[in-house]
């Protein structure tokens, strides 16, 4: 697998043209490659930016963006608010102040649809027929310092590689094993793109194993990419907390 970070011009909040930046920075896309795009520039493309000077209380902005939240006192040292948004357990509803030039950059709305828009535009511009797109973000992992990449939305490939009902090395039939392809791609891409002043909000991945460009989500039982709460192994930890309802997102 080859992962290449792509430098672009600076995309400036509150709104900028992501597609032109992609086309200007990438001369060609090979067939059966995957383009990773960091969610920050997708949000700027969508205009999901709020001037920090207009926000009196960031916690109130977080509550508006979150689907549900825990009051700040539940976080260690009160550094963040724990929230749920779009099926993710994420600090501060994904709101980001870094590399934002005086704005709060919100998570993009409907990132899966935006991944499909980017994919369709790139397929037309570059003349390719098999292309995957992943909208990435950085995510913290419990009991680990640092961040890893995660997919907020994907298009053009199946997000899971299903091993169920296949034998392991010793002939034992696997019952629950599935490989998370979308988040694995996002993690590799975020590692290449960096988190600071690199100005590489894109990554191009080729030769990626387990990517099925022909199919989407499985129709097999328990084959959906997102896990409903009643199937989630970690639900007891989350549901025992005193969540409060948020507003689910600003309309900008």
Going residue by residue through the chain (252 aa), what tens digit of pLDDT does each one get? 999 999 999 999 999 999 999 999 999 999 999 999 999 999 999 999 999 999 999 999 999 999 999 998 888 778 889 999 998 999 999 999 999 999 999 999 999 999 999 999 999 999 999 999 999 999 988 889 999 999 999 999 999 999 999 999 999 999 999 999 999 999 999 999 999 999 999 999 999 999 999 887 777 888 889 988 888 988 888 888 899 999 998 776
- Name the DSSP letter for residue 173: B
CB 133 within 8 A of CB 118: yes
Position 135 scores a pLDDT of 98
* CB within 8 Å of 16: residues ≥ 6 apart: 41, 44, 45
CB 45 within 8 A of CB 106: no
């Amino acid at each position: 697998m080859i992962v290449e970070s792509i430098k672009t011009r600076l995309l400036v909040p509150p709104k900028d043209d992501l597609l032109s930046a992609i086309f200007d920075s990438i001369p060609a896309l090979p067939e059966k490659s995957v383009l990773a795009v960091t969610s920050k520039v997708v949000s700027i493309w969508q205009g999901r930016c709020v001037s920090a000077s207009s926000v009196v209380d960031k916690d109130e902005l977080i509550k508006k963006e979150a689907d549900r939240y825990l009051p700040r006192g539940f976080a260690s040292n009160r550094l963040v608010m724990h929230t749920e948004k779009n099926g993710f357990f994420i600090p501060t509803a994904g709101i980001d102040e870094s590399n934002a030039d005086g704005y709060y950059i919100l998570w993009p709305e409907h990132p899966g649809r935006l991944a499909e828009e980017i994919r369709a535009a790139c397929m037309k511009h570059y003349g390719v027929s098999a292309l995957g797109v992943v909208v990435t973000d950085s995510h913290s992992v419990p009991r680990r310092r640092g961040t890893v990449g995660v997919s907020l939305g994907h298009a053009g490939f199946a997000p899971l590689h299903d091993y169920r009902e296949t034998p392991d090395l010793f002939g034992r039939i696997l019952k629950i094993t599935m490989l998370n392809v979308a988040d694995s791609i996002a993690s590799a891409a975020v590692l290449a793109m960096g988190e600071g002043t690199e100005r590489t909000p894109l990554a191009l991945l080729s030769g990626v194993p387990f990517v099925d460009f022909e199919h989407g989500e499985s129709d097999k039982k328990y084959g959906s990419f997102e896990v409903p709460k009643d199937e989630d192994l970690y639900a007891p930890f989350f549901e025992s907390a005193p969540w409060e309802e948020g507003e689910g997102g600003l309309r900008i």
